Structure 1
Amino acid sequence: MTVRNNQIPLSVLDLAPIVEGSNAQTSFKNSVELARHVESLGFTRYWLAEHHNMRGIASSATSVVIGHIAGATKSIRVGSGGIMLPNHAPLVIAEQFGTLESLYPGRIDLGLGRAPGSDQLTAAALRRERKTGGEDFPNQLAELRSYFHPDGTTRVKAVPGEGLDVPIWLLGSSGFSAKLSAEQGLPFAFASHFSPDYTLPALQIYRSSFKPSEDLEKPYAMIGVNVIAADSDEEAEYLATSIQQQFLNLIRGNPGQLKPPVEDMDSLWSEYEKHVVAQQLIYTVTGNAETVKKKLEAIVEETQADELIVNTHVYDQQARLKSYQILADAWFGQ
C-alpha cells in the first residue's frame, strides 16, 4: 500500500464514463490513461463498477475491463467496485477472478454488491430464470468463497480460482452489507458518493459487529467520495456541473451520457431538484488544492474511514487527469 505523508490511502473508482459526443472505445482509452496516471501518483487501487443499460457507462463487462486496465499498468491493485453477484453464477465469477489473479498475481480485488446495477427490466434480462432480488446474497457469497477455498466436499472446481487469494470486499449503501461483511470479517466499502444518508449508521454497524477472521483482524472501511479539484474553487464548481446534471437526469429517470459543464445550473433544475441532487452529493468535494484537502480531512474525521475511493466525473479528460494530480499533490504532500 503506497502512502506518503498522509496515512489515509486514496484509491480510484472509475465508472468508465462515456461523455456526450464520444463512445466506449474512447472511454476505455481514457481509463487506461487515468489508471497509469494515478498509479504514478501513488494511489492504492483502481476499481471499476458493473452497470447495465446505461448509455453513459462503459464498464458493463467489468471483468474484461479489469483485465484491460491491469494489463496496461504495473503495480496498482485493480478490481471491481463492484461485481453485482446476483447477476451471475458464483462459479463464473470465481473463474473470471481466478483468471485475473493468475494473470496479474497479487493485484486483483473482488468487490461485491447485491444490487442489480440497473433497472428491473434489465435485471430480469441478466438473471433470466433466476428470480432473485438479492435475498440469497449471503448464500451466493458463501458459494463463491468455497470455490476459492474449498473444504474438500465440493465436486465442482473453479479452474483457475481454487486455492488463490483474491481479496473479497462487500459493497453497500445500507446496513445489510455492513452487517454481513462484519459477520464474515471482510473489508467493507460504503457508497457515500451517491447514497450518503446511511453512511455513519452503516459504518457504526460494521465496526460494532465486526468479527476477526483469517482475512482481516480488525475492521477496515473505505468510503466513496466525489472529488473535483482545479486551480480555483470557481473552476472546480464549474466542472462539477457535469456530475450535477448526471444526477439531475437520474432523478428524472432519464440517465444518459456525461454532459459538458454549464455556467448556470439554476436554468436547468427546480429548487426541489436542486435540493435532492445536493442531498445525494453530500460527499462531493470541489475546490482548489487547499479546499479539497480540508474538506477531505473533515470527511475522514467524521467517518474515521480507513481509505477513500475517489470518483472524478468530469467531462474533459485533461481536467480529470489534472484533478487527480492536484488531489495527490495536496493529500500526499508532494
Structure 2
Amino acid sequence: MTSEHIRKFNQIPLSVLDLAPIKEGSNPGESFKESVALAQHVEKLGFNRYWLAEHHNMPGIASSATSVLIGHIAENTERMRIGSGGIMLPNHATLVIAEQFGTLESLFPGRIDLGLGRAPGSDQATAYALRRTLNTGPEDFPMQVNELQDYFADEPVSRVKAVPGQGLDIPIWLLGSSDFSARLAAQKGLYFSFASHFAPQYTIPALQLYRKHFQPSDTLKKPHAMVGVNVIAADTEEEARYHASSLQMSFLNIRKGKNTKLQPPVENMDDVWSPMEKAAVQESLDPRTTIIGTKETVREGLLNFQKETEADEMIITSQIYDMKARLRSYEIIGELME
C-alpha cells in the first residue's frame, strides 16, 4: 500500500448505516433509544452521515417509518448529516416524500440527505398493503425521481407544489445493488451509493458503469460514489468473530426465508449452519466488504477496498447484538479517521 493510497483513504468521509435492529428479547422502543445513543456517539467520533434504511414486515428492523426516525435522530444530534439509506420510492406517493423531506430540511437546514431505492424493501403482500395497488413498481422509478426533482425545483413544472419542499436544496442519492441505479445516477448526474455490503460481486461493474457514463448536472459536476461495508471491530480477533456471528445468523435466516430479530452471538457458527449454508452466506459476506477483526485488520480491509473501488465515501454498518460492543466497534473505526 503506497503512501498516496493511505493519504486518499485518510481524506474520505466515513458514515454509518443503521438498520435500527430489534434484538431478540427487546422491542422497537429500545431499538430507537440505542439508535439515538449510537448517533450521538459516532457524531462525537467525527462520522459524516447517519443513514436509516426502510424495511417493512421484518421483526428485526425498526426503521419502517424512516422519515419519522430521521427526524428523531436529527433532533438528538447537532452537526452530522442525517438521511435515508434509503427510501424505497415505489412504496410512496412522490409528493408525500417531497413534503416529508421538505419538512425535515426545514427543521434541520443543511443536514438532510435523501437516498432513494427502487426495490420494495418487502414482499409483494407487504408492498400491496403499503400501496393498495401493485400498478406502480421498480420500472416507474426513473419517472418518480423526475417528479421528486421537480417538486424540489425553484419553479416546478407540476401544478401541485410541495410545501414545504419547493426550492429546497436536498441532496438526492440513488442507491443500488445492481447496474440499474448506477446507469440512472450517471444519466441524471446524481450521487450514487452501492450496497456492496450485501452485493459485493456487482460493486466494481456498477461503479465503472456509473463513472463511465456520468453526465454533469447542476447538482453534481463529477461522479461521487459511496460504498457500503460491514465492519465488526473489537479489541481481539476472537471477540470480533464472536460478535460477527449475529450478522452471519441474520444472513443465514434470510437464506432460509425466516424473519427473525437480531440474534445473540454464538461461540461456534459451525454448530448453527451446514457447510452448504456456510458457503452461501460467505458468498454474500465477502471478506472484502465484511471486515471482521481488530483495528489493524479493519484498517487494512478498508484501505484495500477503497483502493479497489476508488470510493469517495464509505458507509459502515455493524449488526452487533451487544450495545457496548457496537459502540466500541465504531470507536475503533473512528480511530482510523484520526
Give the TM-score range, shorter chain.
over 0.9
1:51-130 to 2 correspondence within 5 Å?
Answer: 51-130=55-134
Instruction: Give the Cα–Cα distance (whole angstroms) in 1 for the partners of residues 278 and 151 of structure 2.
Output: 47
2:159 to 149, 155, 159: 155
Please give the per-residue CA displacement for 1:140-164, whole angstroms capped at 9, x wherever unaligned. Answer: 1100110000545321010000000
Contact 2:156 2:166 in 1 (8 A): no
Contact 1:245 1:259 in 2 (8 A): yes
Shift of residue 279 of structure 1?
0.8
Shift of residue 129 of structure 1?
2.3
Provide the aligned length of Structure 1 versus Structure 2. 330
Q: Could you tell me which residue of structure 2 aligns to residue 317 of structure 1?
A: 323
Shift of residue 133 of structure 1?
2.6
1:249-260 to 2 correspondence within 5 Å?
Answer: 249-260=253-264
Contact 2:155 2:167 in 1 (8 A): no
Q: Could you tell me which residue of structure 2 aligns to residue 299 of structure 1?
A: 305
Instruction: Give the Cα–Cα distance (whole angstroms) in 2 for the partners of residues 217 and 37 of structure 1.
Output: 33
For the residue of structure 2 that corresponds to 1:99, the secondary structure is helix
1:263 to 251, 263, 267: 267
Amino acid at match of 1:123: A
For the residue of structure 2 that corresponds to 1:79, the secondary structure is strand
Instruction: Give the Cα–Cα distance (whole angstroms) in 1 for the partners of residues 208 and 157 of structure 2.
Output: 36
Instruction: Give the Cα–Cα distance (whole angstroms) in 2 for the partners of residues 253 and 91 of structure 1.
Output: 34
For the residue of structure 1 that corresponds to 2:174, the secondary structure is strand
**Is 1:239 matched up with 2:243?**
yes
| Compared CA separation, residues 88 and 5, structure 1 to 2 (3 A) | closer
Instruction: Give the Cα–Cα distance (whole angstroms) in 2 for the partners of residues 267 and 5 of structure 1.
Output: 38
Shift of residue 131 of structure 1?
1.5
Amino acid at match of 1:317: M
Q: Could you tell me which residue of structure 1 aligns to residue 4 of structure 2?
A: none
For the residue of structure 2 that corresponds to 1:274, the secondary structure is helix
Unaligned runs of 5+ in 1: none
For the residue of structure 1 that corresponds to 2:258, the secondary structure is coil
Q: Could you tell me which residue of structure 1 aligns to residue 10 of structure 2?
A: 6
Please list every run of at least 4 consecutive aligned residues from structure 1 whose deviation after the TM superposition is greater than 3 angstroms. 150-153
Instruction: Give the Cα–Cα distance (whole angstroms) in 1 for the partners of residues 78 and 280 of structure 2.
Output: 41
**Is 1:332 matched up with 2:337?**
yes
Instruction: Give the Cα–Cα distance (whole angstroms) in 1 for the partners of residues 203 and 9 of structure 2.
Output: 27
Instruction: Give the Cα–Cα distance (whole angstroms) in 1 for the partners of residues 195 and 39 of structure 2.
Output: 21
**Is 1:212 matched up with 2:212?**
no
1:172-251 to 2 correspondence within 5 Å?
Answer: 172-251=176-255
Contact 1:14 1:48 in 2 (8 A): yes
TM-score between the two structures when normalised by the length of structure 1? 0.97
Instruction: Give the Cα–Cα distance (whole angstroms) in 1 for the partners of residues 112 and 191 of structure 2.
Output: 14
Contact 2:127 2:134 in 1 (8 A): no
Query: What's the C-alpha RMSD, in Å, of the aligned pairs?
Result: 1.3
| Compared CA separation, residues 144 and 130, structure 1 to 2 (3 A) | farther
Contact 1:4 1:332 in 2 (8 A): no
Q: Could you tell me which residue of structure 2 aligns to residue 24 of structure 1?
A: 28
Q: Could you tell me which residue of structure 2 aligns to residue 41 of structure 1?
A: 45
Unaligned runs of 5+ in 2: 1-6
Instruction: Give the Cα–Cα distance (whole angstroms) in 1 for the partners of residues 71 and 60 of structure 2.
Output: 21
Please give the per-residue CA displacement for 1:173-218, whole angstroms capped at 9, x wherever unaligned. Answer: 0000000000000010000111111111000110000011111111
Shift of residue 130 of structure 1?
4.3
2:294 to 267, 288, 299: 288
Shift of residue 304 of structure 1?
0.8
Contact 1:239 1:315 in 2 (8 A): yes
Q: Report sequence identity in percent.
A: 65
